[in-house]
Amino acid sequence: MSAVIEVNPLEQFSPEPPTPGDSCLLIIFGASGDLTRRKLIPGLYNLACVGCMNPQFEVLGVGRTPMTSEEFRTKLRESASKSGGTRDFNDGHWREFENRLHYFAGDINDDQFYSRLRDQLDKMQSGGSSPNRLFYVSTPASVAGPVVEGLARAGLNRTAQGWTRIILEKPFGHDLESALQLNDVVHKVFDEKDVYRIDHYLGKETVQNILVFRFGNSLFEPVWNRNYIDHVEITAAEAVGVEGRASFYEETGALRDMVANHLLQLLALTAMEPPIAFDADSVREQKVQVFRSIPPMTVEEASKRTVRGQYGPGQAGGKPVPGYREEPHVKASSTTETYVAVEFQVHNWRWAGVPFYIRTGKRLPRQVSEIRVHFKRTPQALFAGTPHEQLGPNVITLRIQPDDGISIAFDVKRPGDHMRALTVDANFSYESAFGSKGPPAYETLLLDSMRGDPILFTRRDEVEAEWRIITPIEEAWAKLPAPVFPNYAAGSDGPAEADALIGADRRAWRKLAV
C-alpha cells in the first residue's frame, strides 16, 4: 500500500520505524457486528495508512447476512468514513485498502459451513493469499466454543505452510465454569501460544505506561506499598448509556462487562510485583499472583463491600435521557446493574490493609478512566495552628482517558507573609509532550497479534483467576435482597451507597460532575 498519512503516531513515539505485521489472512467471525465496524476495520485502515500492514494482508469477513464482498466494502466504507476511529479518512486511501476486504456468507451453526470455509481459504491461498491465518472470534460468548470446535473439525486449527492463531474477544465466558469450559475447548485444538484473548484496555497507551512509570523510575517504587499508600481508587466512568447493546447488556451487567476484565487488569498492573523480565509470561505471572491474593468474597462481605446501581431518567449532555428500564429491549423490571463499586483487599505483604476501591458505570457525568493512588498523610502535623492544619495528602493520578497523562498532587506554601499551603499538581500530558495521543487500543493489539507478540493479551490462568474473584460476587448478589432500582439519576455521580462504601476515614471518590 503506497498511501501514507503524514502523522504516524506509531512512528512518532518510537525512534525506530514501526515493524509491519506478518503477512496473513484475518478471518473475522462476527463481521457484520458493531465491533468490526467501529473498531477493527478503522484500526486496520489506520495500520495500512501508516505503513504497518504487510502487503500480503487481507480480511475475510464471515457473517450470516448474505452479501457480496462489494456490498461488504460499501457498508464498511460508510461507517469508517463516519467513525472517529479512522485518522484522516480519505477516499483514495480507502479505495486501496478496500481491495483487501472480502466477505464469506454462512451460518456458523451449519455443519457444512466449516468445510465450505476451508475450501474458500484454500482457494484464496492458491490465488496468492498468505498461508498464515488469524481467526478473530467476535461472537457472543456462548458461540465461541462451537466456533473453535467447528474450526478443528475442518482441520482449520493448523496449516502446513504457515502459522494459525486465534483471537478471542471478550466476554471470555460468563462465569468461572463457562470460562473453564471454553478454555478446555480452545486448548484441545490450539496451543496457548497461539491464543490471543483480548482485553482492549491493555492496548491503551496509558495502561501500557503503568509498568514503565512504576518500574522504569526509581522514585516511586520504594513508596508503592502499604507503608506509604492509604488507598487506591480506580474509576472507569462512561457518559453513554447502553447504546443499542441492551440485549447483550441485560445478560451481562457492569460487573461482568467492565470489572471482570478491564478494571481487574488495571488493579493488577497497579498492584503487581516487578516481573523478572519484560516478556509476556513474566508480566502475566505477576498479574496472576495479584488475582490470587484477592480472596473470593462471602455473601456477607459482598453485602458490605459492593454496591450495585442502575440509572434512572436524568440528563446527558444537557438533554433529558430515559432511565435504563425505559431503553429499547430492556425489561421494565430489569435488575441488571449499570453501575458497580467494589472494595477489594489484596492479601499480600505489599498491600495488606490497603483497600482498592473501584467503580464503573454508564450514564455518569462524563467519560473518565483513571487510577488514583492516595498516599498517607504526614506523621507529624507540623503546620498545626496555621489555617491549614491538615494538609492534603499526596495523590498520584494515572489518567487513562480522556486527558491521557499523569499528575502528582503535592503541597506548597502560598507566597506571602502567612504560612498557608495549597495543593498543586505536577502534570504530564501525552498530548502536550508528544503532540498527539497514541494509537487506538485495537490498532496496537491487531498489529501485535499479526507480529506474534502476546504481552498485551491475557493468559488462560489469568482469565480464570479473574472469574474466581467475580463469580462469588455474582453468586452472593443472587442470594442478597435485590437492590431498589433505579438508584441514581442519569448524569449524576452514581448511587449514594457508593459514597458510604469508600467514605470511612475521610476518604471520598473524586467528583465526576463538573
What is d(CA 383, CA 406) in angstroms, rounded to the nearest whole number? 28
CB of 268 within 8 A of CB of 291?
yes
Quote helix, strand, coil % in the chain, to nearest 5.
40, 20, 40
DSSP state string for 73-112: HHHHHHHHHHSTTSSS--HHHHHHHHTTEEEEE--TTSTT
Q: Which is nearer to ligand BG6, 60 or 342 (CB)?
A: 342
- Least gap, CB of 440 to ligand BG6 (angstroms): 9
Classified as helix, coil or strand, 105 is strand
Grid coordinates representing 63 are 457473517
What is d(CA 456, CA 427) in angstroms, rounded to the nearest whole number? 27
- Least gap, CB of 503 to ligand BG6 (angstroms): 26
Residue that the C-alpha cell 450514564 belongs to: 363
Grid coordinates representing 291 are 488475582
- Least gap, CB of 351 to ligand BG6 (angstroms): 25
Q: Which is nearer to ligand BG6, 254 or 283 (CB)?
A: 254
Distances in Å between the alpha carbon of 183 and those of 109, 166, 172, 261, 471?
20, 12, 9, 16, 16
The H or E element spanning position 368 is strand 368-375
Alpha helices (H) in 154-245, listed in sequence order: 176-189, 205-215
Phi, psi of 371 (to 5 degrees): -120, 125
387-426 exposure pattern, b = at least 16 Cβ within 10 A, e = fewer: ebeebebbbbbbbbbeebbbbbbbbeeeeeeeeebeeeee
- Least gap, CB of 334 to ligand BG6 (angstroms): 16
- Least gap, CB of 3 to ligand BG6 (angstroms): 27
> CB under 8 Å to 356, separation ≥6 — which residues?
231, 232, 234, 267, 270, 271, 343, 344, 345, 346
What is d(CA 358, CA 265) in angstroms, rounded to the nearest whole number? 12
- Least gap, CB of 148 to ligand BG6 (angstroms): 21
Q: Which is nearer to ligand BG6, 171 or 355 (CB)?
A: 171
What is d(CA 268, CA 58) in angstroms, rounded to the nearest whole number? 35
Please confirm, yes or no, whether 329 is among the known catalytic residues: no
174 CA to centre of own chain: 17
Phi, psi of 86 (to 5 degrees): -100, 140
Say what angle helices 113-126 and 141-153 make with each other, to 10 degrees: 60
Q: Which is nearer to ligand BG6, 194 or 257 (CB)?
A: 257
Q: Which is nearer to ligand BG6, 257 or 370 (CB)?
A: 257
Q: Which is nearer to ligand BG6, 252 or 293 (CB)?
A: 252
CB of 223 within 8 A of CB of 142?
no
Q: Which is nearer to ligand BG6, 24 or 254 (CB)?
A: 254
Query: Which residue sits closest to ligand BG6, CB atoms considered?
Result: 257
- Least gap, CB of 279 to ligand BG6 (angstroms): 26
CB of 457 within 8 A of CB of 201?
no
Of 241, 208, 206, the residue nearest 339 (C-alpha): 241
Contact residues: ligand BG6, CB under 6 A: 238, 257, 369
**Pairing state between β 421-429 and 339-345:** unpaired
- Least gap, CB of 362 to ligand BG6 (angstroms): 7
Residue that the C-alpha cell 470446535 belongs to: 149
CB of 213 within 8 A of CB of 299?
no
- Least gap, CB of 294 to ligand BG6 (angstroms): 21
Q: Which is nearer to ligand BG6, 298 or 367 (CB)?
A: 367
Q: Which is nearer to ligand BG6, 183 or 265 (CB)?
A: 265
**Options 174, 200, 231, 262, the catalytic residue:** 262
Residues noted as catalytic: 262
